[in-house]
């Protein structure tokens, strides 16, 4: 799904774990008398640390504090004198999740590299975090780039940027040109981070001409949007998205309607007054009820079709022309919605009488539940009502955007590969959640032993991490995800819809879940929250 919010309790736990592990590492390095690796960046010199042979720099600024330029494109970071420590992660963006409240001084990135200034011209992999456009940061332990860096001899970068009301509140419709950047400020932060990567790739042993962006959920959606932004043209050369799509952006009328709700909440008439509200006060806007949704759901924030920074919808009515030559992988997990609908035990005990009302609320498309249920009972007669519920909500509200993007790229003739993660470690809780949303993160990073990973630590999990991380590394190095441990992975076409199914017996399959795809193709697709 494109923008599933991360669980705040999980985030708080992971953040605490990251800080504890980092704090434990620093005294040990100092006790051994290791020399700190020093990198020279445009702001000055930074001192990192060496972990298992990898040089790690955390919390490097790529922009200035955004508070003085709230709702505007960020300024560059101020230079500093001497050597700045790059040992701890920078602040997360303002948010209401477990990583909050955060700080408007949040433009920081983190780098893992095998070597500095050695002319290595390694592929550079830049990860954009999930958490919709609302929460998250680049410092989750699951995003630690050390294992990927060592496995593939690559440079790995993770990024923080502005989110929610600070990054995507469109005020130009109410405040004019002074707010021209407001609806896409968070995306402009990512453009600035990628410019920083291009400028400093050689310093960190990387190749500025071979940059792969990869991201899951909201991170994948941000990548899809960057592919249609003129300012991002040429800043990356490959794109790998996981369970994250952005087919349509918010239209200016809908985005202005949401901005008006924010002003009304604070009893304000002039958007300028929002510039000086305390950060914590402004965060209240995240919890306002969105006017376009039936249920009580927080205000949608995401990229805006502003005719300037984002002049076209990312993937409608066609794939972005400017990125037609950029190789792209588009993937999803088989059981996406078990991640956010599987927390309610009642969803595993549904009967056929209860199912229609549940689907009416959760499938996100205007298709008669009776039609959906009848189709699933024909396709999968052995499915229980709960299995129909999870399968149909995944196909109708999560996977559908991936199909739209794949079809648009195929019509364009752009080099594109599709995958579906079916694998999960059988037994216990894994049987309930199966291949849920986010399961592929620790697999592509080869971080199955990190805090927060729910892959399990079996030999099967290790083999799947080997396969998925090696496919990502092959894609970053060669622009083709096929590699020795997988079946031949053919590009996606409309004729066959070739998809690499990652499982215990990984296989290339034509049009997996084709019946489900055809079922939901009966209704138009508009990305939820963008109307």
Q: Hey, do 8-242 and 327-520 end up sharing a CATH topology, with the first three levels equal?
A: yes
Phi, psi of 142 (to 5 degrees): -65, -20
Three-state DSSP class for residue 164: helix
Question: pLDDT tens digits, residue range 331-351?
Answer: 999 999 999 999 999 999 999
Give tens-digit pLDDT for 196-206: 999 999 999 99
3-class DSSP state of 208: strand
Q: How many CB atoms lie within 10 A of CB 466?
A: 14
Read off the pLDDT of each residue in 242-267 and give the average, rounded to a whole number: 97
Q: How far is CA 136 from CA 144, 158, 218, 363, in A?
A: 14, 12, 10, 25
Which residue, among 422, 437, 347, has the nearest Cα to 390 in the 3D structure?
A: 347
Helices (H), 104-168: 146-152, 164-168
Q: Mind listing the pLDDT tens digit for each residue in 289-302?
A: 998 765 567 899 99
pLDDT digits 0-9 by tens, 156-189: 999 999 999 999 999 999 999 999 999 999 999 9
β-strands 507-510, 155-159 pairing: unpaired
Can you count the helices (H) and strands (E) in the chain?
A: 17, 14
Q: What is the pLDDT of residues 260-294, one digit of tens each?
A: 999 999 999 999 999 999 999 999 999 999 987 65
Count CA within 13 A, CB hemisphere, residue 13: 10
Give residue 14's pLDDT.
39
Measured distance CA(245)–CA(266) in Å, rounded: 32
Total Cβ atoms within 10 A of residue 51: 17
Cα radius of gyration rounded to whole Å, the chain: 22
- Sheet containing strand 44-47, edge to edge, reads 38-41, 44-47, 83-85
Q: Is the confidence at residue 387, as pLDDT, over 70?
A: yes
Q: What is the pLDDT of residue 4?
A: 41
pLDDT tens-digit map of 135-150: 999 999 999 999 999 9
Q: For the domain 8-242, what is the CATH code?
A: 3.40.50.1820
Q: Tens of pLDDT along 456-494?
A: 989 999 999 999 999 999 999 999 999 767 999 999 999
| pLDDT tops 50 at residue 26 | no
CA dist 524 → 364, 479, 516, 527, 528 (Å): 12, 32, 15, 10, 12
Q: For the residues 310-325, what does the mean pLDDT come to?
A: 98
Structure tokens that stand for 233 in this block:
């043209």
Please report which confidence band the pLDDT of residue 28 belongs to, taking 50, 70 and 90 as the band edges. Answer: very low
pLDDT bin (cut points 50, 70, 90) of residue 363 is confident
Residues 490-531 pLDDT 10s: 999 999 999 999 999 999 999 999 999 999 999 998 888 887
Residues 6+ apart with CB under 8 A from 351: 385
Active-site positions read 217, 336, 437
Q: Which of 402, 275, 265, 233 is nearest to 334 (CA)?
A: 402
Is the domain spanning 327-520 CATH 3.40.50.1820? The answer is: yes
Q: Long-range contacts made by residues 295-300, C-beta under 8 angstroms, separation at least 24?
A: 295/361, 298/134, 299/165, 299/258, 299/261, 299/262, 300/250, 300/258, 300/528, 300/529, 300/530
58 backbone dihedrals φ, ψ, rounded to 5°: -110, 140
Kindly tell me if the per-residue pLDDT of 31 is higher than 70: no
Average pLDDT, the chain: 93
pLDDT at res. 173: 97
Task: Give the position of tokens 């199912």.
Answer: 355
- Domain locations in the chain as residue ranges: 8-242, 327-520
Residues 333 and 340: beta-carbon distance below 8 Å: no
pLDDT of residue 212: 99
Q: Helices marked H in 107-251 — which ranges?
A: 146-152, 164-168, 172-175, 185-200, 218-226
pLDDT given for residue 525 in this prediction? 87
Enumerate the β-bridge partners of residue 87.
Answer: 58
What's the rounded Cα separation, in Å, for the pair 328 and 231?
19
Helix (H, G, I), strand (E, B) or coil at 224: helix
- Over the range 268-281, which residues count as b (16 or more CB within 10 Å of their CB) and which as e? eeebeebbebeeee
| Alpha helices (H) in 202-289, listed in sequence order | 218-226, 252-265, 279-282
Q: Is the pLDDT of residue 377 over 70?
A: yes
Taken in order 477, 481, 482, 483, is the CA torsion positive or negative? positive
Q: Report whether pLDDT(3) > 70.
A: no
CA dist., res. 367 & res. 365, Å (int): 6
The bridge status of strand 416-421 relative to strand 507-510 is unpaired
Provide the CA 435 distance to its chain's centre, in angstroms. Answer: 17
pLDDT of 39 reads 98
């Amino acid at each position: 799904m494109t923008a599933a919010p991360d669980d705040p309790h999980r985030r708080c736990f992971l953040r605490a774990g990251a800080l504890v592990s980092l704090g434990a590492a620093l005294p040990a390095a100092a006790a051994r008398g290791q020399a700190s690796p020093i990198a020279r960046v445009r702001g000055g010199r930074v001192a990192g640390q060496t972990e298992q042979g990898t040089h790690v720099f955390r919390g490097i600024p790529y922009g200035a504090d955004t508070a003085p330029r709230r709702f505007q494109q960020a300024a560059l970071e101020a230079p500093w004198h001497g050597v700045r420590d790059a040992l701890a992660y920078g602040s997360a963006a303002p948010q209401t999740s477990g990583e909050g409240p955060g700080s408007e001084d949040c433009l920081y990135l983190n780098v893992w590299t095998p070597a500095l200034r050695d002319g290595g011209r390694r592929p550079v992999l830049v990860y954009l975090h999930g958490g919709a456009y609302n929460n998250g940061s680049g410092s989750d332990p699951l995003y630690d780039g050390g294992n990927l860096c060592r496995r593939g001899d690559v440079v790995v970068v993770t990024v923080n940027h502005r989110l929610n009301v600070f990054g995507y509140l469109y005020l130009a419709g109410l405040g004019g040109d002074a707010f021209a950047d407001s609806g896409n400020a968070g995306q402009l932060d990512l453009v600035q981070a990628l410019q920083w990567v291009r400028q400093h790739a050689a310093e960190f042993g990387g190749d500025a001409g071979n940059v792969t962006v990869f991201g899951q959920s909201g991170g994948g959606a941000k990548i899809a949007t960057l592919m249609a932004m003129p300012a991002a043209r040429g800043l990356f050369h490959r794109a790998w998205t996981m369970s994250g799509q952005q087919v349509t952006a918010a239209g200016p009328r809908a985005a202005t309607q949401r901005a008006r709700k924010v002003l009304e909440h604070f009893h304000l008439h002039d958007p300028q007054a929002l510039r000086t509200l305390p950060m914590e006060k402004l965060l209240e806007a995240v919890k306002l009820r969105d006017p376009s949704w039936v249920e009580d759901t927080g205000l949608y924030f995401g990229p805006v079709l502003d005719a300037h920074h984002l002049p076209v919808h990312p993937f409608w009515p066609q794939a972005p022309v400017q990125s037609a030559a950029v190789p792209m992988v588009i993937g999803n997990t088989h059981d996406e919605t078990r991640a956010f609908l599987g927390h309610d035990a009642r969803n595993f005990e549904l009967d056929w009488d209860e199912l229609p009302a549940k689907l009416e609320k959760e499938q996100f498309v205007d298709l008669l539940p009776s039609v959906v249920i009848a189709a699933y009972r024909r396709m999968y007669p052995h499915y229980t009502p709960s299995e129909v519920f999870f399968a149909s909500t995944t196909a109708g509200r999560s996977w559908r955007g991936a199909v739209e993007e794949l079809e648009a790229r195929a019509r364009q003739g752009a080099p594109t590969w599709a995958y579906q993660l079916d694998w999960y470690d059988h037994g216990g809780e894994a049987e309930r959640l199966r291949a849920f949303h986010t399961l592929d993160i620790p697999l592509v990073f080869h971080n199955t032993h990190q805090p927060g990973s729910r892959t399990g630590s079996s030999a099967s999990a290790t083999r799947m991490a080997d396969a998925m991380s090696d496919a990502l590394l092959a894609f970053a190095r060669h622009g083709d995800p096929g590699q020795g441990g997988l079946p031949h992975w053919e590009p996606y076409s409309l004729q066959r819809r070739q998809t690499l199914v990652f499982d215990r017996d990984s296989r290339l399959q034509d049009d997996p879940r084709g019946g489900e795809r055809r079922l939901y193709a009966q209704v138009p697709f508009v990305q939820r929250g963008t109307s």
